[in-house]
Structure 1
């Protein structure tokens, strides 16, 4: 019954049920302790049955007491258990991603085998949650009430944006990837220490950037996400697909092409040789992901590119 809904009973009915359970336990114990001469196998069966009743009785008694001191909130995605301090803990023990909405309208997509701890209502000057595992956050913007996500030794601070956090086993590593907006990722002295006045070092991330924090070396390593998305230049929101922005070029200079890619993806692209900027390019690469676009560009101009941190370096002798 622990996995089912909480039965609705009055305090009197609960006490009567507890008394009934304890009487049954006592009767079973008395039977097990009587000097009845039975077959050894039968005696072992009775002792096992008595032990099972004791365990079940204690479990039910604990269950009743727990439910008398805290509230269980049932939702379509399963129970969110309220701790005595008023924080809600949501655990995703399914094989599918679980979505939940916080009191400020922010949305959390919780990956399987992950959990998030959050207050039932954000009442202080800061919105703060704790994550174990992986989740995608889409935070409602509120400059007067910054949003904090604690994950191991790392805290991510945002005003309103979308980003993904992944923690390694036992928080050995934490990875933060930004989809839209800007986030601040920094290290705290202790996983359970308040974030206030505990900032040690960290980084600022913009769209299509990610950082990997290593608990062993206490270091941050920034890079680009695996599949950069087109970002709307004005609003800072990710475009649904690359086809929403056209990349159709006819005798366009390399400098023009790279300038449009930089603006669309928010990623700095550097030419090692400035003469490459004068080379001409003709092709429609709208439907291709960013790194495929760069492969086609470099193949046409006999050049190569490397991802160095959060920037892209294009190398080559030029188009002559």
Structure 2
């Protein structure tokens, strides 16, 4: 693809970072990256993970910049516009990329750097990282358990899978769930840990000095809060304060409770939460108003509810685009 049109490179790179690229377009971009490779390609783009894709772009750019001048003719031939598009979005992210993505590309670390950062995991679970936190997870969950490591604070909305429990490791506790939503906030320096459960049941295991888990977990149910403060004695389970719940949800797209909501609002909220684009004839649904709570529901379940309330003929989810057909409220 040495003769690849510059505007197309720019277009494909933008679609890649936005997770809207098609299989054929990914292949064209892959072919472009394959020209004059610095090292054999050791990973794929199939997981549709924004952080992995950014890591690949960064790695590809870095390798080409570091290659001898005589082998960088192709890189210099790409237009400044395309180069800037790829690099501008990564400049502020470059230093974290060096620290946050393992060289074997089988593991990803995401840093929030003081902002709420939404992470889509390989099993379609969603995590909102908060404050100065980090989340480590594998590119693909392949074990009997789905294991991640959290340092700091995060709101988790976990895809239900009874056969593969989801396990979060923090400094002093390990949290185990099958599929639920909850918030974890730990501060190792102050030796505090708080877990607030929104839906489902959560098991919390204390770790000893050697990192081994205690024999008996504490079971925390919806509306309850597990809190451990070393200076205050034994951990406690209490009713979660309403103010704590509001603070947990602030700045996230977790709440999907529609109350007489119009189609435009519903469309925007679904697109923002699941990072998809909904394509539809808006005129069909301009008079539709929906009251339904799909909080803590997957994209597929959310669309099933929407199909029912909008009387859709059908919907299709493909490559991050959802197409609605038929139905309406006119």
Higher relative contact order (CA 8 A, sep 6+): 2
* TM-score (ref. length: structure 2): 0.45
Higher strand share goes to which structure?
1
* TM-score (ref. length: structure 1): 0.46
Higher helix share goes to which structure?
2
Which protein has the larger Cα radius of gyration, Structure 1 or Structure 2? 1
